[in-house]
Amino acid sequence: MNNIQDIIDLINSNNNFAIVSHTSPDGDCMGSMLGLYNSLVSYSKCVDVYLDDEIPKRLSFIPGAPNILNSFSPKEYDIIFALDCGDIKRLGSFSESLLASGKVVNIDHHLSNDMYGDVNLVIPDMSSVGEIIYNILAEGNLPINEKVAMCLYVSILSDTGGFKYSNTKPSTLITVSKLLEFNIDHSKIYTKLLSEKTKEQVILSSLVSSNLELYFNEKVALLYVTQDMLTKSNVNENDSGDLVNIARDIDTVEVGILIKEKHPELYKISLRSKDYFDVRCVAETFGGGGHTKAAGCAINGTFEEIKAKLLAEIKGNLL
Amino acid sequence: MNNIQDIIDLINSNNNFAIVSHTSPDGDCMGSMLGLYNSLVSYSKCVDVYLDDEIPKRLSFIPGAPNILNSFSPKEYDIIFALDCGDIKRLGSFSESLLASGKVVNIDHHLSNDMYGDVNLVIPDMSSVGEIIYNILAEGNLPINEKVAMCLYVSILSDTGGFKYSNTKPSTLITVSKLLEFNIDHSKIYTKLLSEKTKEQVILSSLVSSNLELYFNEKVALLYVTQDMLTKSNVNENDSGDLVNIARDIDTVEVGILIKEKHPELYKISLRSKDYFDVRCVAETFGGGGHTKAAGCAINGTFEEIKAKLLAEIKGNLL
């Protein structure tokens, strides 16, 4: 494990940088990439930023997002930053050729990381890669301006669920307080990222939650989305993400389940828990995986079969 | 306006304290009262804490809540703290006799405050009274422990909407970072206060949002709650509070409206805006009031009449 000063030295002593992050980009991925990008640009460095995926519409406002390149044409870089990516395969199809074209600096906060970089800075205690980037920039006296602050605020906000999750440490909030000193419109960014929905999403939420089912003394809540509901509400499947939280956020509930119909005989399952229940164990039973409190899997069968299997698996481990 | 040191001196040089706050208690009221209460108790002072109202169930977990007294029996206090109350009338029915029984210290953050105290500390720039209490305790080296930290976290969390609103300043987050140092389970408190719903509230949300209406290029969203929906979902009217946010939080929307049926010919209206629209002006037209971005009124008439009147009033001021 290398320390922050090594990375500061690499920034100061080189000129051509590339930045890359994982596919299915989220707030931390986009915010940390563009935070570093905007700082290096202000520091008069040559920087290219790459992503092998589409930029989600709700993240397209982040300063620098339009400059993200989608495909890699062979070029030599002094340094390639790979951010928020524990497994090099998640960098996408061009990762191999890109990473071959310079020295790789791997900056991450995932507990499991393959340490694939020439330099590796992996700090699982950090809320987000955005927070690590802030520490690098601050410690190295590298440029932090309103644009950089916006990007890093997006990172930390996203990966802490709005400063809600337990990865929000005192030091996280001190970093955020410093970002707010740059007079960013944090309230607007917060609303855009975590509160806003499309009218279609409101309609879908309404359809889905009208079918709420509760089990085992209301400790388990189950919701489902059918292809028909997606059609009726005109919501793209990728935009239906946080519906499982409606189940988990019910006051009596420990485990929230969302069963999403892919085809009549294939269902994707999202599982969330609140306090003690290890949903990863349940997901793994069905060939899936994830974290203790957020996991998922895919199961073949009819809706009723799958529901019965899931409930049977969960029942035994409820307190 | 007196300063914080005057209040610290009063705490150090007196022994018998009462604490009171406004009716319809919210997170800031309960959190700031009980934060001060727990600190004074740890400082071996005699303290009584009063509220002329029921304690909402979702706030009953705050340390010290069971000790809150509902009625005042004449007693002499050295100091009465009146918290989070710009207008002395909001203290409730026993306020007059209570306030006559000691020196009154008025601590508040409302822009309009009658300065009814013998000592007044009114700081509108503060997110919450909880933040002011923290500053008093910290500056005076008065006890801050896990219980106090929980209470003050509840205050600040509530009045900033989970650190979302623009009253969240860098200094606010530094204060919260200090509260988190006391190892409070902040994530659990956050979920309890801002994320959790009852199953009945989920059903009501579903019923209400299934009737979403959009107007004027989807800049205005309208939802309504009927007595029938409240009966069907088994939700008490007082627990249906934040439904108007479903309307406001739609991405295209500037003004969100909730029309709540009281009787077939009387409706309560909640209005929320996002960026520029002054909903207080609209509310005042109908004899109501409030703030620029959150206001309300009551209107007599049929649902269709009221809807038409509201939309006509709003239309002219949309950009």
Residue B281 touches partner A, C-beta closer than 8 Å: no
**Residue B297: which pLDDT band, with cuts at 50, 70 and 90?**
very high
Which pLDDT value is given to residue A242?
83
Which pLDDT value is given to residue B241?
66
C-beta of residue A119 within 8 angstroms of C-beta of residue A78: no
CA separation for the pair B273, B248 (Å, rounded): 7
C-beta of residue A187 within 8 angstroms of C-beta of residue B166: yes
**Domain extents for chain A?**
4-195, 199-315
Q: What is the mean pLDDT of residues B159-182?
A: 96
**Alpha-helix runs per DSSP H in A51-119:** 95-99
In terms of Cβ atoms closer than 10 Å to its own Cβ (0-12, 13-18, 19+), residue A304 is: exposed
Which pLDDT value is given to residue B17?
98
Q: Which of B239, B168, B172, B257 is nearest to B199 (CA)?
A: B239
Q: What is the mean pLDDT of residues B21-31?
A: 94
* Whether the predicted pLDDT of A160 surpasses 90: yes
A39 Cβ contact partners less than 8 Å away, ≥ 6 residues apart: A133, A137, A142, A143, A144, A145, A148
Q: Which of A190, A198, A209 sits opposite B250 (nearest CB)?
A: A198
Helix axes A146-159, A27-42, angle to 10 degrees: 160
- From the candidate CATH numbers 3.30.420.40, 3.40.30.10, 3.10.310.30, 1.10.10.10, the one assigned to the domain spanning B199-315: 3.10.310.30
Q: Which of A280-284, A287-291, B284-288, B311-315 has the lowest mean pLDDT?
A: A287-291
* Whether the predicted pLDDT of B238 surpasses 80: no
Q: Is the dihedral of CA A132, A137, A138, A140 positive or negative?
A: positive
Tens-digit pLDDT profile for residues B176-196: 999 999 999 999 999 999 999
Q: Which tokens is B242 given? A: 């934040």
Q: Which residue has the higher pLDDT, B294 or B130?
A: B130
Q: Which of B181, B185, B196 sits opposite A170 (nearest CB)?
A: B181
C-beta of residue B136 within 8 angstroms of C-beta of residue B7: yes
Residue B246 touches partner A, C-beta closer than 8 Å: yes
* Whether the predicted pLDDT of A1 surpasses 70: no
Tens-digit pLDDT profile for residues A54-82: 998 889 999 999 999 999 988 999 999 99
* Whether the predicted pLDDT of A241 surpasses 70: no
Residue A183 touches partner B, C-beta closer than 8 Å: no
Q: Which tokens is B317 given? A: 């001021």
Which pLDDT value is given to residue B289?
86
Q: Which residues of B touch A214 (CB under 8 A)?
A: 199
Closest-approach residue (CA) in chain B for A252: B198
**Residue A189: which pLDDT band, with cuts at 50, 70 and 90?**
very high
CA separation for the pair B45, B147 (Å, rounded): 16
Do B4-195 and B199-315 come out as alike in CATH topology? no
Which pLDDT value is given to residue B1?
47
> Is the Cβ pair B173, A170 closer than 8 Å?
no
Which of A 120-179 lie inside 8 A of B, CB atoms?
A: 162-166, 168-174, 176-178
C-beta of residue B267 within 8 angstroms of C-beta of residue B230: no
DSSP string of A96-108, one letter each residue: HHHHTTSEEEEEE
The CATH number of A4-195 is: 3.90.1640.10
Tens-digit pLDDT profile for residues A255-271: 999 999 999 899 999 99
> Is the Cβ pair A250, B197 closer than 8 Å?
yes
Proportion of chain A above pLDDT 90, given as a percent: 85
The position carrying tokens 């306006």 is B1
CA separation for the pair B213, A143 (Å, rounded): 47
CA distance A148 to chain B (A): 17
Tens-digit pLDDT profile for residues A162-182: 999 989 999 999 999 999 999
- How many degrees, rounded to 5, is the angle at CA A270 between CA A264 and CA A271? 135
Q: What is the mean pLDDT of residues B135-160?
A: 97
> Is the Cβ pair A214, B196 closer than 8 Å?
no
CA separation for the pair A22, A91 (Å, rounded): 4
Residue A294 touches partner B, C-beta closer than 8 Å: no
> How much is the mean pLDDT over chain A?
94
Which of A 190-209 lie inside 8 A of B, CB atoms?
A: 190-191, 194-199, 202-203, 205-207, 209
CA distance A270 to chain B (A): 19
Tens-digit pLDDT profile for residues A76-101: 999 999 999 988 888 999 888 999 99
Q: Which tokens is A115 given? A: 């340490």
**Residue B206: which pLDDT band, with cuts at 50, 70 and 90?**
very high
Q: Which of B174, B199, B274 sits opposite A174 (nearest CB)?
A: B174
**Residue B2: which pLDDT band, with cuts at 50, 70 and 90?**
low
CA separation for the pair B118, B301 (Å, rounded): 46
Closest-approach residue (CA) in chain A for B181: A170
Which pLDDT value is given to residue A264?
87
CA separation for the pair A98, B166 (Å, rounded): 41
